[in-house]
Amino acid sequence: MSIKGAFLSMQITVKSSYPKGWLAYDGQVEKLKKRGLKIEDVEFARQFLAYSNYYRFTGYCLRFQHKDESGERVFNDGVSFSDIIDIYEIDKGLRDCISDALGAIEISFRSAVAYHFAEEHGPFGHTIKENFVRPFIMRRTDANGREQPSAYDEWHEGLVSETRRSNELFVKHFEAKYLQFPDLPIWTALEICSFGTLSKMFKNMLRFDMRPIAARYSLQPSTLDSCMHSFVYVRNICAHHSRLWDKEFAISPQLPPGRKWDVVRNANKKLYAVAMLVNWMLAHDSFGKAKHSNWKRRFEAVIDSLFDRFPELAHHTGIPADWKNQEIWSSI
């Protein structure tokens, strides 16, 4: 490409100062009305915006809007404040349902990793670098050739930091009694570390050590690793009460092989894929089975309410209209 062509192909972004100022609740209500939202009860709308934050609320408005000739987002004809509240509540139900299941899966996964890793490597095997894959433990260099800590060093340092911050009585007891502190036995360390720290440990374990844990859920190690990475991301969405129902996930899971999963493959960045994996893992974990059928009924009820109330929007979850008849749901 010529210099002229390269210059013409450059995109120059000119930044400007943020133009929007603080807006009182009454002004927020008026702004929504000006954009075409029907508000029957102004006082309720004002109170709800005070509770939820205008910015959070407008995230739920996006699927009910289009851009006018000037490029401004306006509401579709007939959309009311109660419509937005309904999708808000449906999304809350989905977050509660998915979060509850992920909590059960996380506890099971913590237990499985602690049990099998300790069986093979002992209580402090996680402090021995050679018990992890080579790329994880290799030292790195920066752009100037200076040696940097390995990914393992950073992970272990993070685990130690979590231990030192902990106020759990069992941690304080260990600190007072044993020389190994701030290292804890793996079954103790995995009780206080974050889900992300746990997921990173599993990702970098030797394949031999991953297999019995993955087998617990009838999955391949690489699939379980990918699932857990995705679950950490989704659990954080739920924990921060962010919009879940129509989100395109930045971290999508690898799906298991098999024909029954084909219906999900084109939606692996949507809620559909995560929900089907959650369903699978609950069904294949010995303890998770106890709550599996109840969880399925809860999830079906929330999705049914979405299809009943907003049939034209339900596809944003990635879930097809006949989803309950698909083998990936009906046979598990």
Q: What pLDDT digit, counting tens, does each position of 194-222 carry?
A: 999 999 999 999 999 999 999 999 999 99
Q: Pick the residue with more confidence: 144 or 193? A: 193
Domain end point (choices 37, 59, 79): 79
- Quick one: pLDDT band at residue 81, thresholds 50, 70, 90? very high
- Is pLDDT at 5 greater than 80 in this prediction? no
Mean pLDDT, range 288-302, rounded to an integer: 92
Pair (39, 147) in one structural domain = no
- Is pLDDT at 7 greater than 80 in this prediction? no
The residue with tokens 């231990």 is 163
- Is pLDDT at 1 greater than 70 in this prediction? no
**C-alpha span between 113 and 212 (Å, rounded):** 9
Q: Which domain holds residue 41?
A: 24-79
**Is 12 contained in some domain?**
no
Question: pLDDT value at position 42?
Answer: 97
Question: pLDDT value at position 142?
Answer: 82
- Is pLDDT at 183 greater than 70 in this prediction? yes
- What are 74's strand-pairing partners? 66
The residue with tokens 């499985």 is 112
Question: pLDDT value at position 11?
Answer: 60
Contact (Cβ atoms closer than 8 angstroms) between residue 299 and residue 247:
no
Torsion, Cα 251 253 220 103, to 10 degrees, reads 80
Lowest mean pLDDT among 115-129, 177-191, 224-238, 281-295: 281-295
Residues near 314 by beta carbon (within 8 Å), at least 6 away in sequence: 303, 306, 307, 321
**C-alpha span between 252 and 93 (Å, rounded):** 22
Identify the CA nearest to 234 among candidates 213, 222, 218, 250: 250
Contact (Cβ atoms closer than 8 angstroms) between residue 81 and residue 296:
no
**C-alpha span between 315 and 231 (Å, rounded):** 21
Pair (69, 94) in one structural domain = no
Q: What angle do CA 22, 47, 27 make, to 5 degrees?
A: 35
Pair (127, 218) in one structural domain = yes
Contact (Cβ atoms closer than 8 angstroms) between residue 247 and residue 59:
no
In tens, the pLDDT along 218-272 reads 999 999 999 999 999 999 999 999 999 999 999 999 999 999 999 999 999 999 9
Pair (47, 123) in one structural domain = no
**Is 163 contained in some domain?**
yes
Question: pLDDT value at position 140?
Answer: 85
65 sits in which H/E element: strand 65-67
Pair (109, 234) in one structural domain = yes
Number of Cβ atoms within 10 Å of the Cβ of 125: 17
Residue-averaged pLDDT of the chain: 94
**Is 13 contained in some domain?**
no
> Left, alpha or beta for 29 (phi > 0: left; psi -120 to 50: alpha)?
alpha
**Is 16 contained in some domain?**
no
Question: pLDDT value at position 169?
Answer: 97
Positive/negative CA dihedral, 233, 238, 239, 240: positive
Identify the CA nearest to 152 among candidates 134, 177, 171: 134
**C-alpha span between 98 and 92 (Å, rounded):** 10
Pair (124, 102) in one structural domain = yes
Positive/negative CA dihedral, 272, 274, 280, 283: negative
**Is 313 contained in some domain?**
yes
Contact (Cβ atoms closer than 8 angstroms) between residue 36 and residue 68:
no
Pair (70, 104) in one structural domain = no
- Is pLDDT at 80 greater than 90 in this prediction? yes
Pair (70, 155) in one structural domain = no
**Is 19 contained in some domain?**
no
Positive/negative CA dihedral, 99, 101, 104, 110: negative
Pair (46, 158) in one structural domain = no
- Is pLDDT at 25 greater than 80 in this prediction? yes
Domain end point (choices 79, 107, 122): 79
Pair (34, 168) in one structural domain = no
**C-alpha span between 178 and 144 (Å, rounded):** 41
* Phi, psi angle pair for 195, to nearest 5°: -60, -40
**Is 6 contained in some domain?**
no
- Is pLDDT at 156 greater than 70 in this prediction? yes
Question: pLDDT value at position 288?
Answer: 73
Question: pLDDT value at position 8?
Answer: 54
Pair (52, 136) in one structural domain = no
Number of domains in the chain: 2
Mean pLDDT, range 189-193, rounded to an integer: 96
CA 266 to each of CA 230, 317, 327: distance values in angstroms, whole numbers, following the listed order: 16, 12, 16
Domain end point (choices 35, 56, 79): 79
**Is 9 contained in some domain?**
no
Number of Cβ atoms within 10 Å of the Cβ of 292: 21
Question: pLDDT value at position 10?
Answer: 55
Question: Which alpha helices (H) appear in 123-220, and where do they start and end?
Answer: 134-137, 151-165, 169-177, 186-192, 195-203, 207-215
